[in-house]
Amino acid sequence: MTPPQDAPIHALSTMWSQGRFRKDGDDHDHMPSFAEKTASLGFSHIEINYVIPPAGVDALIESNHVEVSSVHSPCPRVRVNGRLSDALNLAATDEEERALAVQVAKDSVDTAVRAGASLLVVHLGGVGDKMFEEERQLRKLFDAGTTDGEEVDGLRQSAIERRREGARDFFPQARRSLAELAEHAAANGVTIGLENRFHFSEFPDPDEMAELLAAYPPHIAGFWIDIGHVEVLHRLGLIDRHRWLDELADRCVGSHVHDTDGLNDHRAPGHGTSDWPHYAAKLPPHIPRVYEINQKIPEDQVAAATPFLRSVGVLPPE
């Protein structure tokens, strides 16, 4: 099941497993069943995402059905001082929270090492921990069919100004956290993939990504593109979709590949309106394509994703 040497790995994220593989009386999914199903769908690799508890991570690492291509920090999901690990902000101005976020990210490096994965996907935090109200209103207007005009322009400008002001305090904290995490990752042979995010308040934008990565060689830190996130912020008029790969393709180390219907992402590729010709032309040919597909998506759509991505050039023909 190993892909040809010149073909990129295509992997299925454990996002799709959530709630699909429960056994009677269990609180969590039976992850060996997910691994077995993944292999039957034609995937040789998986990404372990940040909602899998320790027992599930252990079960996946022990599974002989699939290999782990990447781990999505923070992994495994645990409670830290009463908070879920994925709720901690690596850019927090509260030093206790930031330190805890760094520690669970370092633990995720250790998870990647145990899993034999060389890539760690990282959310670097943002300006606070809530969506900007301007973005919330832009989303409502988009859903109502309004994508331009004076009100939309005003909300966009206000969001840009709010983010610029907030970044003065939060972005230096994100940079500090990355430095601490990168030191630990480098010592363990793991490359950090900084993911572009779903909400405008979150780091990094394309300029911040370039600034952060300039401090590290490619084997230490790179750019992890999430196609759905790119599409959503483009559709809101906040970050042009073309900037990411036009400016950062040479630092791209991995991808989350999913489709976008309106502002709803994590759809199976082929069931939305993402700009596939752009990604086919610009994605580096050898980086992993991780299918980050919502758990509500039916199995037949997951199975059809690979033929679709081959047809549009995101994966090479067989």
Q: What is the DSSP string of 106-152?
A: HHHHHHHHHHT--EEEE---BSSSS--HHHHHHHHHHHTT--SSHHH
CA distance 182 to 169: 21
Instruction: Give the pLDDT score at 82.
Output: 87
Instruction: Give the pLDDT score at 3.
Output: 44
Q: What are the residue boundaries of the structural domains of the chain, listed by start? A: 10-129+172-312
CA distance 13 to 50: 10
Instruction: Give the helix/strand (H/E) hosting 11.
Output: strand 10-13
Instruction: Give the pLDDT score at 7.
Output: 84
Instruction: Give the helix/strand (H/E) hosting 253.
Output: strand 252-257
Instruction: Give the pLDDT score at 19.
Output: 87
> Residue 144: CB partners within 8 Å, gap ≥ 6?
none
Instruction: Give CATH for domain 10-129+172-312.
Output: 3.20.20.150
Are 12 and 41 within 8 A, CB to CB? yes
pTM: 0.95
DSSP 239: S
Helices within the chain (DSSP H only) = 31-40, 54-62, 95-115, 133-143, 150-187, 206-213, 227-235, 241-248, 276-282, 299-312
Encoding tokens for residue 317?
């023909």
Instruction: Give the pLDDT score at 25.
Output: 61
What SS3 state is found at 71?
Answer: strand
Instruction: Give the pLDDT score at 24.
Output: 63
Are 277 and 312 within 8 A, CB to CB? yes
Instruction: Give the pLDDT score at 4.
Output: 46
Instruction: Give the pLDDT score at 281.
Output: 97
pLDDT by residue for the chain (318 residues), tens only, comes to 444 456 899 999 999 999 899 876 677 889 999 999 999 999 999 999 999 999 999 999 998 899 999 999 999 999 988 899 999 999 999 999 999 999 999 999 999 999 999 999 999 999 998 999 999 999 999 999 999 999 999 999 999 999 999 999 999 999 999 999 999 999 999 999 999 999 999 999 999 999 999 999 999 999 999 999 999 999 999 999 999 999 999 999 999 999 999 999 999 999 999 999 999 999 999 999 999 999 999 999 999 999 999 999 999 998
CA distance 265 to 274: 9
